[in-house]
Structure 1
Amino acid sequence: MSSITDKKSIDAREDKKSSASRDEEKHVFETDAVSIVDSSDGDEALKLVGREREAQFSEEYNKKLRRKLDFLIPPICAAVYFTQFLDKTSLNYASIMGLPITGQHYNLVSLAFYLGFLVWEFPTVYISQKLRIAKYLGANIVVWGIVLMLHASTTSFGGFFALRFLLGMCESCVAPILILIISMFYKKDEQGTRISWFYVMNGLTQVFGGFVAYGISFYSGKNITPYKILYLLFGGLAILVGLCVLVWLPDSPIHAHMLTKEERIAVLERVRDDQGGMENKKWKKDQIIEALTDIRTWLIVLTTLLTSIPNGALSNFSNIIIKNFGYTSKQTLILATPGGLIASITVLLCGWYSDRKNERMLPIVMCLIPTIIGSAMLVGLNDSGKKGALLFASYIIGTFGSALSTIYAYNASNTSGHTKKNTINAITLASFSLGNIIGTEIFLPKDAPSYIPGKIAILVLLTVQLFVSFLLRWINLRLNKKKQAKLAEEKARRGWTDVDVQKERERHAFLDLTDKQNMFFIYTA
């Protein structure tokens, strides 16, 4: 039995859609001095639900629906991120498994991935907005699986550089698309947790990849080098995940064929009050300009850079650092795995706290502190010979990784307008790739084996990020106060009751307004 209280309205909407759409095309309303033609500029969601809420769902129904979504969307997103991080960091394992690329050539091959990522980030986001995003993602995963397997076919610097460049291009679409999908299916106070559920794969791949690489390292045959087996295995896994994405991951609630029509409407109604909107295939110049002129965009760029430079260094050199404590290659592959577990636990805790307390910046601060302490220990204890303390420092230094997942959640919760969302996500990921490019060059061969300048750089960068995080939090709280004042002024001027305010909030939800244009949008600190 349906839990919709007004079931007839859903069926009746189909009969009224053509005439209603003609009326809506003529209707222009004013909000924050911006005129919006709602039918042509609105979200894809308007094809399935009206501007006003016509269907109500019980809390029990919504919980059941959310559980159904949780069994499908986060697991597939997690599989994608697991594959991506495993493939991206395969070079880290290969570096101590007979890889013929060493010295400065290794640094340049490490850089090539992020260079491809940077070059293709904006084109891939533009293309994905025009296409069905899950299908586009799945196709990219299959292609990068093939590219990864081709790593086993070459031993030259030029070949590795080109393949890593192509791998970066293919993987550049992952985070923007996953963030969009999570923001379309989940409410603001659910997004941080769900993003942490797929971002946790960064730490778990460190455990999985370490044990797999350890097992392969015992291969002593002469037909194939161990690192080539690694690339063939990881590439095949990527192709399998890509096929699963093509078959099962929905592009949006509107195209979620695993849901009934009633459930698709319920998903849209769940997120209506968040004012985050759905998808729109039209690129809007005014939203791009707003994204580029929003001070928070550039602070996100700065905080992403401050996080990504250490990431670029540690994701490619962490095994080399541990090996230089005085361990063998095989010992290093196993001893590196606890760091992945600690990073995974940190990601889950930060995601949970982020949603529970409706905070984004404070969890970032909390995950940075252990990394700052770990960096200081690696510098201060460098010549001490205390392997246990140095290992402990190398484990807690990885907690900073959850900062990036929280930045993803920040973008999902604090940006509205589909073009603006895509623009800011692209800028964020471009900053991520640029930071990682810089990061591959802070651990230079001349500084081996201790790499003290690189470790000091990580310490300084993440200390600066503490202050940037507090600044972003303060700006969002200040913007919310301004919005509250604006809404109170509008309420008094128009004589709105609380019921009227709620109706207006619902009418604004799927008009593809930006967070600045929409007076009902509330920022998450």
Structure 2
Amino acid sequence: MLAVEEKQPVETGEQVAPKSHQESSSDFSDGPIDPKAESRLVTKLDFIIFPTFFVIYMMSFLDRINISNARIQGMVADLDLTGNRFNVALFTYYISYILLEVPSNMVIKRFRPSLYLSTLMFCWGIINMCMGFVHSYSALIGLRFLLGIFEAGVLPGIIYVTSMYYKRHEYQKRMSFFFCSTVVAGAFGGLLAYAIAKLGGHHGFAAWRWIFIIEGAITSTLAIIAAFLIIDWPEQTKYLNAEEKELLRRRLAADVDDSCRMDVLNKTSFKMIMSDYKIWLGALVYMGVGVPGLSGTFFLPTILLEFNWKAQEAQVRTIPVYVVAGGTMLIGAWASDKLRHRFSFFVAGTSLVTIGYGMLLAQEGKSRDYKFGAVFLVFGGAYMVTPMALAWLQNNLSGHWKRAFGSSIQVTIGNIAGIIGSNIYLVNEAPTYVTGYSVSLAMMWLGMICATILAVLMWRDNKKRDAGERDDRLNLPEDVKNNLGDAYPTFRFTL
């Protein structure tokens, strides 16, 4: 079931990407694209691709954060999670997760995504179930580390696969719809934890253990089904016939010049990837804006518990927060795709987050409703721009290898936000959590500053390309010129 590389010129030290829709020879007309046929194809892809990936990432996120629901259902006392032990359990996951994201995107190129991603999903579901049976802190740490190993390849893999099917300005709203899976996971996690809590004591298992056991079992079962539903690479997929594959190739070539390819990995292309400012700034943007969302997700039940609600009441009140976050995410995605513009939405998101944290840092003597309202602002602003950071970078990368490295590097560095977010809400600072709120606000502004630099540099580069100042690259040797990716002079960046 392996998707073996069609060309591997090892004698030259080069690696060639699997033959893609952009490379396929055409037996069809290169005339105008029928808009009705194109619309039918895009609708078909939407129904095939995103419902499955939505469920996969929803379960990935749920299995990552359900420890926060388990925390307020008795896990702390049972496993003696005193001091900063809970924080350590959170960030241990991110050690393996971060280390394996880039290697995973190199591996997925050699496999069918349907086989690779479903296998990862089945394994992490089993590991999540096992956490319901632990009796020691050390066992919990070990399983969190293993969970990170098997979840590492999910997000960069999904971003990579989906980016091969859509035009650049179709991608944001779809990516935001996909990221609503995290919102559903957060809301559903609170609702499910509320329901599962009633199982506490059944068969001798505490409520927090049932959270892991039931959610892990659901994940592993869905993984078996997903193996038959996940879409593979465009040249492999069973869902499209030859005519549809050719239409896909042509519509993507019309969006990005077919010359803007990077299908061969060699020393020259690797150097271009590693020196691309967009990848590194895009990664810092994702890391910065990710801290408010991730840290909030980890500690939202605990924060609401500090607002003097009981445990089950706090679980339920996470739901409207995630509903509002999903709303801002979808509205921002629709508007940014409509305007073909991203940067201004980072300004709007940062403004909402700044107001929210400002309110929380000045919460002394304020009512519970005041503090609860501030939480809505933080989540609304942070969740609006988190998926946008991913889509914005993918909009501005071209070529098989550029996208493979770009998405995995961005997610790898971006997920340092998980390590930061899991260590800033300190038990001894409850209920005000000054460090947590202050660091989250600072990281949001780091993301905003990097987004500003990124937008300015791309704007300047577009101006130079419009003036013909990059046309000297057309005189490069053919093998180099045909492997430039988004460095090809005809490519234009989305601001």
TM-score, normalized by the shorter chain, greater than 0.5: yes
Q: Which residue of structure 1 lines up, in the alignment, with residue 240 of structure 2?
A: 259
What is the aligned partner in structure 2 of residue 230 from structure 1? 211
Identify which of 53, 58, 62 aligns with 1:77.
53
Identify the residue that residue 353 of structure 2 maps to in structure 1: 371
CA distance in 2, matches of 1:163, 1:42: 35
Cα distance in 2 for partners of 1:284, 1:478 equals 28
Q: Deviations over 1:280-336 (max 9, x none)?
A: 886433333212212222222322221233334222111111101111101100111
1:216 and 1:230 in contact (8 A); partners too: yes
Q: Is it true that 1:270 corresponds to 2:240 in the alignment?
A: no
Q: Answer whether contact 2:307 2:368 (CA < 8 A) is retained.
A: yes
The whole-number CA distance in structure 1 between the counterparts of 2:163 and 2:483 is 14
Deviation at 1:247, TM superposition (A): 0.8
Mapped to 1, the partners of 2:319 and 2:294 lie a distance apart of 18
- 1:417 matched to 2:399? The reply is yes
Partner of 1:191, secondary structure, is helix
d(CA) in 2 for partners of 1:281 and 1:488?
A: 21
Deviation of 1:364 (Å) = 2.2
For normalisation by structure 2, the TM-score amounts to 0.89
Unaligned ranges ≥5, structure 1: 1-20, 26-36, 495-506
In the TM superposition, residue 80 of structure 1 has moved relative to its aligned partner by 1.4
Residue matched to 2:3: none
The question of whether the paired residues in 2 share the 8 Å contact of 1:42 and 1:512 is answered with no
Cα pair distance change 1:42/1:151, threshold 3 Å: closer
Cα root mean square deviation, aligned: 2.9
Q: Which residue of 1 aligns with 2:165?
A: 185
Correspondence for 1:514: 485
In structure 1, what is the equivalent of residue 302 of structure 2? 320
Residue number in structure 2 paired with 1:218: 198
Aligned residue identity for 1:63: S
> CA-to-partner distance for each residue in 1:240-280, whole Å, 9 max, x for gaps?
33223321222222112111111111111111123387998
Alignment partners' CA distance in 1, 2:95 and 2:17: 35
Q: 1:355 aligned to 2:337?
A: yes
- Residue equivalent to 2:189: 209
Q: What aligned pairs does 1:190-201 form with structure 2 within 5 A after superposition?
A: 190-201=170-181
Residue 66 (structure 1) aligned to one of 33, 42, 46: 42
Number of equivalent positions:
474
CA–CA separation in structure 2 for the residues paired with 1:133 and 1:289: 27
Contact 1:82 1:205 in 2 (8 A): yes
User: Which of structures 1 and 2 has the bigger CA Rg?
Assistant: 1
**In structure 1, C-alpha distance between the alignment counterparts of 2:28 and 2:392, rounded to whole Å:** 27
- Contact 2:172-2:388 at 8 Å conserved across structures: yes
Q: Which amino acid aligns with 2:233?
A: S
Structure 1 residue corresponding to 2:227, chosen from 246, 254, 258: 246
Say whether 1:156 aligns with 2:127: no
The correspondence of residues 120-199 of structure 1 with structure 2, limited to 5 A, is 120-199=100-179
Cα separation, 1, equivalents of 2:18 and 2:268: 14
| Structure 2 unaligned residues grouped into runs of 5+ | 1-5
SS of equivalent residue, structure 2 residue 164: helix
Query: Which amino acid counterpart does residue 208 of structure 1 have in structure 2?
Result: F
1:77/1:178 contact within 8 Å kept: yes
- The correspondence of residues 443-462 of structure 1 with structure 2, limited to 5 A, is 443-462=425-444
The code of the aligned residue for 2:40 comes to K
Counterpart of 1:338 in structure 2 is: 320
User: What SS class does the counterpart of residue 33 from structure 2 fall into?
Assistant: coil
What is the alpha-carbon distance in structure 2 between the residues aligned to residue 239 and residue 280 of structure 1?
A: 36
What amino acid maps onto 2:250 in structure 1?
E
**How many percent identity over aligned positions?**
23
Q: Secondary structure at the match of 1:251?
A: coil
Where does 1:51-130 land on structure 2 (aligned, <5 Å)?
54=30, 56-99=32-75, 100-101=78-79, 102=81, 103-130=83-110
Question: Relative to structure 1, is the Cα distance of residues 285 and 141 closer, same or farther in structure 2, using a 3 angstrom cutoff?
Answer: farther
Question: 265-274 or 46-55: which moved more?
Answer: 46-55
Equivalent AA in structure 1 for residue 486 of structure 2: D
In 1, distance between residues paired with 2:317 and 2:197? 14
Give the whole-Å Cα distance in 1 for the aligned partners of 2:460 and 2:320: 41
